[in-house]
Copies of this chain bind each other. A is one copy, B any other.
Amino acid sequence: MIKVAICGGSGYTGIELLRILSGHPAVTITAVTSERSAGKTIAEVFPHLSSLQELIYEPLIKEKLLSKADIFFMALPHGKSQETVHFFHSKKKLVIDLSADYRLSDPDIYKEWYGLPHNFTSTLKKAVFGLPEIYRNKIKKAKLVANPGCYPTGAILGLFPVIKNRIIDPSSIIIDSKSGTSGAGRKADLSISFCEVNEGFKAYVIGTHRHTPEIEQELSLLAGKKISVNFTPHLLPVDRGILSTIYAPLNKKSDTASILKIYKKVYTGEPFIRVLDEGIFPNIKNVKGTNFCHIGVKVNNRTKTLIIVTAIDNLVKGASGQAVHNMNLMLGLKETEGLKSSAVFP
């Protein structure tokens, strides 16, 4: 059994790692940290994880954790992750970082969007962007994986086949995304209190969300030139799920069936991608609790536009599930190990 540790185990991505890894047949969780819950068992703090009666939260003391595990998941806030990732990486441990700290390869862009300098730029160079559908081979050999953001995962997976195959003009992409409230994290905050969110719906940080440079970095690499996108996040009154509706001008006239063929070809054999048949579109409810990404497309020939819709669970494919997928790749395990369960519907 491979020993895994989780740094930051009481936020939503942390407890999702606990849920998934506790059902993974090849690993055992040997340590999990939480400052606020240190000394308590997981089951005590989170009754939904009632089988974790033995595992006890501990404070994050790096030196003490070092010998406890072979692979470290970092579910810490942005900024706080930098140094801890560097520490475990420098000690030859495998690291999967769920924060944004190692996703942007250009430290200047990181500083611009996160307001912080990057203090470990040589480690940053070692980080592989953990999107298996694009970087599978690199991830297999990686020692440090920067797990993608939730919005970028859904956006990039939707655009990858058509940018790669030069089907659309990548200079006018619009990504209109809608996320469940767990994306805001587990915290006491009036703006995400039940009565403020329930029965409501709004856009926020239009054009200035921090996932924007991450999306642009990856799409630019695919397009082979620097591109900017319009990215608008919205807050959905649901627990989980991101639906992204993506608009891009077609380079030439086409039809839905032809475009679907491209998607199905590009994603052949991908265990977690489902390209839906013509006329069927994704619903976040169908991917809840799973590592799947559902994709539907539609050509609007009246406007020569391709509309792509993707659905993921922001905490699974958009965070902890993809992190476990990356772990499976890094460890040479079967890719779907620990990630096979279907969505609980309804």
Q: Are B190 and A190 in contact (CB under 8 A)?
A: no
Binds B, one of A93-101, A108-116, A141-149, A173-181: A173-181
Q: Are A298 and B206 in contact (CB under 8 A)?
A: yes
Tell me which of B187, B247, B286, B296 contacts A48 (CB under 8 A). Answer: B286
Q: Are B203 and A342 in contact (CB under 8 A)?
A: no
Q: Are A12 and B307 in contact (CB under 8 A)?
A: no
- Is A84 in the interface zone, CB < 8 Å from B? no
Instruction: Check A245/B346 contact, CB under 8 A, given A178-B234, A186-B195.
Output: no
Docked pose: A306 CA to B186 CA in angstroms: 33
Tell me which of B189, B232, B309, B346 contacts A198 (CB under 8 A). Answer: B346
Q: Are A203 and B49 in contact (CB under 8 A)?
A: no
Q: Which of chain B's residues has its CB closest to A43's CB?
A: B274
Cβ distance A26 to chain B, nearest Cβ, rounded Å? 15
- Is A341 in the interface zone, CB < 8 Å from B? yes
**B-contact bits for A1-38, CB 8 A (1 contact / 0 none):** 00000000000100100010011000000000000000
- Is A330 in the interface zone, CB < 8 Å from B? no
Q: Are A288 and B199 in contact (CB under 8 A)?
A: yes
- Is A294 in the interface zone, CB < 8 Å from B? yes
Docked pose: A303 CA to B247 CA in angstroms: 14
Q: Are A207 and B302 in contact (CB under 8 A)?
A: yes
**A:278-324 near B, CB below 8 Å:** 280-290, 292, 294, 296, 298, 300, 302-303, 305, 307, 309, 311
Other CB < 8 Å A-B pairs besides A174-B176, A178-B201, 12 of them? Answer: A23-B342, A50-B274, A172-B249, A181-B195, A195-B239, A198-B239, A199-B241, A201-B241, A202-B285, A203-B243, A203-B245, A247-B247
A residues apposed to B, CB below 8 Å: 12, 15, 19, 22-23, 46-51, 172, 174, 176, 178, 181-182, 186-190, 192-204, 206-207, 228-230, 232, 234, 236-241, 243, 245, 247, 249, 274, 276, 280-290, 292, 294, 296, 298, 300, 302-303, 305, 307, 309, 311, 340-346
